[in-house]
């Protein structure tokens, strides 16, 4: 697993009244901090990027647009994970469970 240090400031598209976690600024920032790798399989350079919610939002807008819940993923891993797999290791946390941000 690779380690990700997420900046404390989040992309503008997450703070506007028309929040969009798929906006280009969000995708580009996640691509940069995740080294263009899927956080699950670590594949790099895949054509179809998904912005994954590590903790399924299930309609909860707080989780849906939470900067710390958005992860860079490939389509394959995102479709396998779906909203049924929980407690997945967080590559944005240190070993002691503290956020690296």
Q: Residue-wise pLDDT tens for the chain (101 aa)?
A: 788 988 888 999 998 888 999 999 999 999 999 999 999 999 998 999 999 999 999 999 999 999 999 999 999 999 999 888 877 888 886 545 555 55
DSSP letter, residue 87: -
Backbone angles phi, psi at 80, to 5 degrees: -70, -45
In which residue are the tokens 């994954």 written?
A: 52
Look at residue 94 in the predicted model and tell me its pLDDT: 53
Q: How far apart are CA 59 and CA 6, in angstroms?
A: 24
Report the predicted TM-score, pTM, of the whole model to 2 decimal places: 0.87
12-81 CATH: 3.40.1800
């Amino acid at each position: 697993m690779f380690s990700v240090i997420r900046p404390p400031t989040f992309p503008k598209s997450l703070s506007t009244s028309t929040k969009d976690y798929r906006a280009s600024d969000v995708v580009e920032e996640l691509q940069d901090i995740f080294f263009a790798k899927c956080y699950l399989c670590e594949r790099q350079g895949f054509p179809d990027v998904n912005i994954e919610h590590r903790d399924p939002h299930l309609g909860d807008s707080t989780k849906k647009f939470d900067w710390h819940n958005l992860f860079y993923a490939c389509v394959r891993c995102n479709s396998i994970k779906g909203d049924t797999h929980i407690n997945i290791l967080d590559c944005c946390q240190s070993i002691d469970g503290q956020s690296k941000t």
